[in-house]
Amino acid sequence: MTAYTATVTVRLKRGVLDPEAETTRRALERLGFELAGLRSADRFDIDLEAEDADEAADRAEEMAERLLANPTIHDYEVAVAEK
Amino acid sequence: MTAYTATVTVRLKRGVLDPEAETTRRALERLGFELAGLRSADRFDIDLEAEDADEAADRAEEMAERLLANPTIHDYEVAVAEK
């Protein structure tokens, strides 16, 4: 078994309103920053033991499907690195 | 001016309690997943126009310092890519 860190990034699908990001964007603009857009995402770094990187990615993907992301409104991506 | 996307990742400093991550970790374990640890972070993808990548990174770093991160409890990192 090898120790891996799986990074799961969960973001809202295009077209889903993101009031938190909109608020952050406006607050930055009020501070004088110029920006063309802002999107927010949740990132989870998960340490796990697996036989290989594929198994680690499969398990992280299942975690995303079952808990970390809501497939109705979220897209997610999984990246795996040896720890 | 070139269009860049600056990615700011904001995470709690080591030693700062993260009850949200702890709750997520326990929920995953209740679902039968085995994991050695879980850390959560906020990620902001910021679209902005700048003369070059260094200027884009500097501005994103200033946004992190002034609004996106709380330096008492957060570390952050900035990565810039041409859009």
Which domains occur in chain A, in start order?
2-82 (3.30.1280.10)
Which of B22, B43, B66, B74 is the best residue to mutate to test the A interface, defined by the most A CB atoms within 10 Å of its own CB?
B43
ipTM field: 0.89
Task: Please report the pLDDT score of residue A30 as a whole number.
Answer: 98
Residue B35's contacts (CB-CB under 8 Å, 6 or more residues apart) are A46, A47, A48, B25, B28, B29
Task: Please report the pLDDT score of residue B18 as a whole number.
Answer: 94
- Please write the tens of the pLDDT for every residue from B3-52: 999 999 999 999 999 999 999 999 999 999 999 999 999 999 999 999 99
Task: Please report the pLDDT score of residue A38 as a whole number.
Answer: 97
Alpha carbon distance A26, A81 (integer Å): 35
CA B68 to each of CA A37, B53, B54: distance values in angstroms, whole numbers, following the listed order:
15, 20, 19
Query: Would the CB atoms of B43 and A41 count as touching at under 8 Å?
Result: yes
